[in-house]
Amino acid sequence: MRISQALNAIEKTRPGILTSSEKLRILSDIDKRIFLEVYLPHENPPVDKFDGYDISTSGKRDLLAIDYFANSIYLRALESECDLKCADTEMYEDSRLLFNAAWDCFARYWAATHKPKGQKDWRL
């Protein structure tokens, strides 16, 4: 998923709630977490470094989560921030729960399919 795809998708479900810079900050925070918590502890991460996103970042840039999980992770995170900004606590709790479930699935998938750094035998 590209940055522009995530930004366009959230505008279809929660239009006009977050500014572009707010949305980019959220995407950047998620990808920083993916880089540090999911990719970096394993050998051969798909990226060597992550510098974050800002208003000058190209919309054509790929986000870090693999496509199978990207829609669930990024859109649920953006939706939950929109719900929080609108003070809709029920919707926030629901969208955050969906984000957390997507995050857990992604992190578990990555850990199950990639060798941790420094371990010789990582599978039973």
Mean pLDDT of each 10-residue bin along the chain, 124 residues long: 96 95 97 97 93 94 95 96 96 97 97 86 60
State the sign of the Cα–Cα–Cα–Cα dihedral 6, 8, 14, 16.
positive
Is the pTM of the predicted complex or chain greater than 0.85? yes
Query: CA 4 to CA 60: how far, in whole Å?
Result: 6
Predicted pLDDT of residue 118 = 80
**Residue holding tokens 């992604």?**
106
For residue 123, tell me if it sits in a domain: no
Predicted pLDDT of residue 84 = 96
Q: Which domain, by its residues, includes 56?
A: 3-113
For residue 124, tell me if it sits in a domain: no
Predicted pLDDT of residue 119 = 75
Which residue from 27, 24, 47 is spatially nearest to 35, judged by alpha carbons? 47
Task: Name the domain count of the chain.
Answer: 1
31 neighbors 64 (Cβ within 8 angstroms): yes
21: exposed, middle or buried (C-beta count within 10 Å: 0-12, 13-18, 19+)?
exposed
**Residue holding tokens 């371990």?**
119
